[in-house]
Amino acid sequence: MTEVGRNGSYERVALSDHLVIELSWHAITDTGLRRENNQDSYTVVPPIFAVADGMGGHTAGEIASDAVATRLSELQDLQDLTPEHIDRVLRESVFDIQERVGETDLGAGTTVTGLALVKNDDRASWLVLNIGDSRVYQFFRGSLSQVTTDHSVVQHLIDTGAITPEEAETHPHANVITRAVGFNEEPIPDYTELALIPGQRMLICSDGLTKELTDFGIRHFLSTARTAKDAAEELLQQALQNSGRDNVTVVVIDVHAVGDMRETGDLSRTRLPLNDPSDTEEVPRI
């Protein structure tokens, strides 16, 4: 298990000298109730937020997820982040995995799923990245939507109509993924651009959460929790109470404001902590 970064409450992240976003985020991970070690890792270092779920033997998966989380952290504070930057560090992580694990019967690899803050035509947006079956969800105005598509055998069977989503939950190949970072293969992420809107609550999670909670349950806890911290902790606890069969990692991000400082004033620091929201009913605005 590798935890890179720190949790943040009402902080400003600058994508340029004038384009700023105000966020809160909370990341949490747990070994679960049936695993001996935690092979999940996460990175929460703006502009990148990601979860990696390792595979490949007792410690190999942990090494693989650590390599990805560590390499992604090199993108910290990068204001002009692009898919090419992510592609580069993912390729480098494959070499790191190979060097650290060596030859094993199972090999070593990891999923990686996450969000990056990017500029597009001088506007802020999310860049969603995904390899494997960890997921990104968006909760907005009472509606939950899964943003990523699993790279898995059962997802392919669902897409082709061979099985239903209900049948996928108990399918014998439910844990078999079709894309990963590692195993001496070229990493191939899916990228999706998503609007960045005040009022969004974003969730990044390993499949240890989605094995235990349905979309209905995830929506309920995202909708009732007051803060990103409350939401992340409640989701984790519910996954553990519902069996906790796997490692569970949860990152929740709340978007409070998106602003152009040319219209509202100068930004003197790239991450300026604001007042604790418990002090007032009004959310601070940029």
| DSSP string for 140-190 | ETTEEEE-S---BHHHHHHHTTSS-HHHHTT-TTTT-BS--EETTB----E
As for how many domains the chain has, the answer is 1
Return the ∠ at Cα 273 (arms to 272 and 279), rounded to 5°. Answer: 145
d(CA 251, CA 231): 9
- Tokens 């580069």, residue located: 88
Answer yes or no: are the C-beta atoms of 111 and 188 closer than 8 Å. no
What is the reported pLDDT for 120? 84
Is 232 among the domain residues? yes
d(CA 67, CA 109): 10
Classified as helix, coil or strand, 12 is strand
Is 280 among the domain residues? no
- The secondary element (H helix, E strand) that includes residue 63 is helix 60-72
Q: Can you name the residues that pair with 203 across neighbouring β-strands?
A: 137, 252
Is 276 among the domain residues? no
Q: What's the Cα-to-Cα distance from 216 to each of 143, 167, 221, 223, rounded to whole Å?
A: 10, 17, 9, 11
Strands (E), the chain: 2-5, 8-14, 19-30, 40-45, 48-55, 109-120, 123-131, 135-140, 143-146, 181-182, 190-195, 201-205, 248-260
Is 281 among the domain residues? no
d(CA 8, CA 11): 6
d(CA 25, CA 231): 10
CATH number at residue 109: 3.60.40.10
Q: N- to C-terminal Cα distance for the chain?
A: 36
Is 196 among the domain residues? yes
Structural domain that includes position 219: 2-260
What is the reported pLDDT for 164? 75
Angle subtended by helix axes 215-224 and 228-241, to nearest 10: 140
Mark the ranges of the chain whose per-residue pLDDT is less than 70.
57-58, 103-106, 155, 166-174, 261-286
Residue 9 CB neighbours (<10 A): 18
Is 54 among the domain residues? yes
pTM for the full predicted model: 0.88
Q: What's the Cα-to-Cα distance from 154 to each of 45, 52, 180, 189, rounded to whole Å?
A: 32, 20, 15, 19
d(CA 107, CA 97): 10
Is 130 among the domain residues? yes
Is 273 among the domain residues? no
- The secondary element (H helix, E strand) that includes residue 84 is helix 83-101
What is the reported pLDDT for 198? 92
What is the reported pLDDT for 185? 86
* Pick from 5, 190, 187: nearest CA to 93: 187
